[in-house]
Amino acid sequence: MSDAAPDGALTGIRVIELGEMVSAPYCGKLFADYGADVVKVEPPRRGDVARRWGPFPEDRAHPEKSGLFHFLNTNKRGATLDVTRSEGRDLLLKLVRRADLVIENQRPARLREWGLDFAAVSAANPDAVMISITPYGQSGPYSAWHGYDLNAFHLSAAGSRYCGRPGEAPLEHGTFAADFFGAAAAAAWGLAAVMGRARVGGGQHLDVSCAEAIAAAFVGGQNIGGYAQDGKFERRTGVGMPLGAPATILPCKDGHVWMLALEPGQWKGLVRVMGDPEWAQLDMFDDMFVRAQNADAIYPLIEAWAMEHGKFEIMESCQAAGVPVTAVFTVDEAALHPHLAARGYIVDLEHSELGRFRDLGAPFKLPASPGGPRRAAPLLGQHNAEVYGELDLGAADLARLERDGIL
């Protein structure tokens, strides 16, 4: 039986996760971290591909020590099953009969080959909601294509719109942005589908395209919709905003700061923090659009002041003056920062192979049912006896299934 948090907001919801790497596992994590009973089904012996991605302690690869895998799979129960074989497929469908949700990120053709598409899931459990998260979606000419997170990101035009300097080649974005956006959207609307089953008379198939999630969040109506309407769209501008200034990243004494002071009060606050330099007293600089038109002149002057100060000093002085300036944190600075610690976003977990390690806490705060990681990710097949025992399989059955390579 699951030891999901008894006070979790999603306690009582049962989930089967048939996914690898990021999108489906992160979607499953959002359910598990808020109390749902999530059974992660992995292929026997090799497990989720994320187990081989790392990062690993001391850079020594180990299937039970991957940082990526551990982040994505907290609070889940782990079971192994070869769903490509008929007996494995039948066992999975038996698990589905007891579930509210099935989360997967396989290519559509692969699920059909396995006999585990929505038609099969719905036949086994008409009330089950199935969440399918793929780069391109379940329909359309690209639905059968091979693709990953960055393929989905750049299909959306987000790379062309935002990443890189004007007139130069677009740049790749940070890995997994499309997968994480798609997963978060899938979790929200998957929960809505579960809660709405009485209204629609049963389960539904939620088709999530990571490319479309990015298009809506990063590009949206300002560009794709705008172009469809009048043939106009925004282009990448490199660092900073083109219409108002200051709104850019500038170097400082010990790193960089995101310098943002557009509104009149913000600009005047920044001027005071800089010591009221004579050049900033010109009335024309009270207008952010005029400042943008003169960015080539004023940015070097602001940079010269910033280079005399540390980024946290600049941030704290500007914030005190009502100016939304932020230090550009490095990863180690963010991980150790007291603000995140105070919000409980850095948590300590115990694992039989890793020992005590740090992980990220709940990204959404629910005071009455806080959520977040309580248990580390499962070992490969750790809960086989528990999960399949709920299907009335005994020790002899499990031994045979392991011998036959089904588990």
What is the three-state SS of 191-253?
HHHHHCHHHHCCCCEEEEEHHHHHHHHHHCHHHHHHHHHHCCCCCCCCCCCCCCCCEEEEEEC
Residues 30-75: tens digit of each pLDDT: 999 999 999 999 999 999 999 999 899 999 999 999 999 999 999 9
From 82-91, 292-301, 381-390, the region with the lowest mean pLDDT: 292-301
pLDDT value at residue 45: 94
Note whether 177 and 185 are within 8 A (CB). no
- β-partners of residue 131 are 103, 206
Question: What distance in Å separates the CA atoms of residue 49 and residue 146, rounded to the nearest whole number?
Answer: 16
Residues 242-289: tens digit of each pLDDT: 788 999 999 999 999 999 999 999 999 999 999 999 999 988 889 999
* Three-class DSSP category at 388: helix
Could you tell me what percent of the chain has a pLDDT over 90?
72
* Span 89-99, average pLDDT: 98
What does the mean pLDDT of the chain come to?
A: 92
Tell me 269's DSSP state: H
Residues 143-195: tens digit of each pLDDT: 988 888 888 888 888 888 878 888 888 888 777 989 999 999 999 999 999 99
Q: Given pLDDT bands bounded at 50, 70 and 90, which one contains residue 224?
A: confident
- The residue among 92, 78, 75 whose CA lies nearest residue 36 is 75
Residues 346-381: tens digit of each pLDDT: 899 999 999 999 898 888 888 888 889 999 999 999
Residues 6+ apart with CB under 8 A from 372: 33, 344, 347, 361, 362
Output the pTM of the full model. Answer: 0.92
* Span 110-131, average pLDDT: 96
Q: Given pLDDT bands bounded at 50, 70 and 90, which one contains residue 215?
A: confident
pLDDT value at residue 153: 85
- For residue 2, pLDDT over 60 is answered with no
Angle between helices 311-320 and 264-273 (to 10 degrees): 130
Domains of the chain: 14-218+343-403 (3.40.50.10540), 247-330 (3.30.1540.10)
- For residue 227, pLDDT over 80 is answered with no
From 10-14, 132-136, 334-338, the region with the lowest mean pLDDT: 334-338
**Range 355-392 burial, b when 16+ CB lie within 10 A, else e:** eebebebbeeeeeeebbbbbbbbbebbbbbeebbeeee
* Span 80-89, average pLDDT: 97
pLDDT value at residue 217: 78
Q: How many residues does the chain have?
A: 407
Residues 6+ apart with CB under 8 A from 333: 327
Q: Given pLDDT bands bounded at 50, 70 and 90, which one contains residue 221?
A: low
